[in-house]
Copies of this chain bind each other. A is one copy, B any other.
């Protein structure tokens, strides 16, 4: 087995040795909320939002998109397991924003190889493995990210099965400060 595999299993053995009363946790989230956020490695929703085990559902995909699967998960969270507030949390410097759609689509449609973009100064993207693919990326402003989270919240809200009055808070996580920035124009309380 690999080094990563051995490290994960060793860390898990230490965690389970101190498991304590967590063995008594109930299935429904104790604090009755759910978070939809990005898979980005820099984000730890439990730490940045103060979650203990058992508190809240966490749904993650590339870009914190309102995919059918994310909406399915949110509906299950609400309908079967009783969450009553949802947070949609995008973040600054998201790969899904840094890589243009055509790069992603091309890779997902055809190539089996890895592409790594050129390193823009100060972004740290170039620490990734592999040869550069010779593409440059654009930096996105907070305004763009705020608009993206507003669009995702709107798409969730417009799903006909989404409960009409559940609050959906739109936020952006700043990877440089760890701070959640409220996006009031994205937050949506009800269709009415």
For chain A, the bracket of interface size reads 35 or more
With both beta carbons as reference points, the residue of chain B lying nearest to A68 in the complex is identified as B69
Residue of B whose beta carbon sits closest to that of A128: B28
8 contacts between A and B (CB under 8 A): A16-B177, A27-B93, A27-B98, A46-B46, A61-B73, A76-B95, A80-B99, A82-B129
A70 interfacial by beta-carbon distance below 8 Å: yes
> Do A22 and B42 have beta carbons less than 8 Å apart?
yes
| Residues from 145 to 192 in A contacting B, C-beta threshold 8 Å | 161, 163-164, 167, 169, 175-180, 182
Chain B, Cβ-Cβ closest to A180:
B12
- A125-144 CB mask vs B (1 if < 8 Å, else 0) is 10111100000000000000
With A12-B180, A108-B72 already in contact, the answer to whether A78 and B22 are too (CB < 8 A) is: no
Partner of A28, one of B39, B43, B46, B125: B125
